[in-house]
Structure 1
Amino acid sequence: MVVTSSNPHNKEIVVRKRIASIFNKREEDFPSLKEYNDYLEEVEDMTFNLIDGIDVPAIEAKIAKYQEENAEQIMINRARKAEELAAALAASKGHPAQNDTDAALSQGSQAGFGTGTQGQYAPTVAGQPRPTGMGPQPLPLGGGHDMHGYAVDDEEMIKLRAERGGRAGGWSVEISRKRALEEAFSSIWVS
């Protein structure tokens, strides 16, 4: 497959996506780190040559041969990546997907939003533990907390946030007042 595009950046993106979907082995698929690094270097050389149009027919033949010889491994790695993305998406929505590997990885940790203790804000990727055992976590400034643990602001804090937010956006009372007066006087018709 020869990619021709008027924008070289788009061509690079298309080529890199295509190559990454075919040459999708991971470090754990190799007996040593050196062999994995050699694999990555070879893939990057092929990618670079395809982008620059160097020896394209030979590289395409090499890609076709690799796809034929490693079709099963390519499909397994694509499926594994899809499962990991689905688990991460489910975790980000607050519904941790618990299969055998996820359960083993996240045992003793929370995966997702809203499942941690009060004050822990950082979402985690499935399998990545949150810090625990560090005592009480800091709470956001403001009033008390509602039944879900979210801060409930009192009236003074709401006014303060509105004022600071407006100023951060470039709004001020003076500008608002001046604009209102200009609009009012511009609508007066004098004959």
Structure 2
Amino acid sequence: MVVASGTNVFAKEIAIRKRIQNIFNKREEDFPSLREYNDYLEEVEDMTFNLIEGIDVSAIEAKIAKYQEENAEQIMNAKARKAEELAAALAASKGPAPGQADADAATNQSSQVGVVTGAPGQYAPSTAGFVQPRPTGMAPQPVPLGGPDMQGYDDEEMMKLRIERGGRAGGWSAELSKKRALEEAFGSIWI
């Protein structure tokens, strides 16, 4: 039963943090100085903590409602900016589809003149009030170390050395593995 109550507390904290994060969503570039941004973050964290702990909830809820009312446009702009960044990141992670280069060029040209077109049901950012150029190129995807292009260059000894060094870098050692195996073996003996 303790686990269930701990899970409920954790779920409550996550729900409160998500709610507060969706309302108080300013970024560092929205402030003239780092000090003001840090003060803002501290105030938001204090409110979050008090809501989680149940301290002066009615006053904090009133403060949140007032902030939402005064900053409704800014909150919506930040949500749209976040959605646009997520959509761009998703598109960048997938890479261009075959035959998509012509469609990308047409979309890029139309977005720079202020006309946004898209398939029905897909997110299309609003350009009312401003026109922002979009990046045209795709960033190169990182290549994992020891990937398929590097397999032909290492001999067997070099591969063993790399595996051993990689394990040690992660805190693993052969002695630790042997010690654990012995402890587990002798720990299973019942006398």
CA drift of 1:140 comes to 2.4
The correspondence of residues 130-169 of structure 1 with structure 2, limited to 5 A, is 139-142=149-152
Do the aligned partners of 1:95 and 1:112 also contact (CA within 8 Å) in 2? Answer: no
Q: 1:42 to 1:111 in 2, by over 3 A?
A: same
Unpaired runs of 5+ residues, structure 2, are 1-5, 98-103, 112-131, 154-191
1:111 to 123, 139, 153: 139
Unpaired runs of 5+ residues, structure 1, are 114-119, 123-136, 144-191
Q: 1:6 to 1:89 in 2, by over 3 A?
A: closer
TM-score (norm 2): 0.53
Letter in 2 for 1:51: I
Identical amino acids, percent of aligned pairs: 68
| Highest RCO, 1 vs 2 (Cα 8 Å, sep ≥ 6) | 2
Q: Distance in 2 between matches of 1:26 and 1:88?
A: 18
CA drift of 1:111 comes to 1.9
Q: Distance in 1 between matches of 2:64 and 2:55?
A: 14
Q: Distance in 1 between matches of 2:20 and 2:61?
A: 11
Q: Distance in 2 between matches of 1:111 and 1:11?
A: 39
CA drift of 1:68 comes to 0.0
CA drift of 1:11 comes to 0.4
CA drift of 1:22 comes to 0.2
| Bigger share in helix | 2
Do the aligned partners of 1:94 and 1:112 also contact (CA within 8 Å) in 2? Answer: no
- Is 1:33 equivalent to 2:34 in the alignment? yes
Aligned residues: 115
Letter in 2 for 1:111: A
Do the aligned partners of 1:91 and 1:112 also contact (CA within 8 Å) in 2? Answer: no
Do the aligned partners of 1:92 and 1:112 also contact (CA within 8 Å) in 2? Answer: no
Do the aligned partners of 1:22 and 1:67 also contact (CA within 8 Å) in 2? Answer: yes
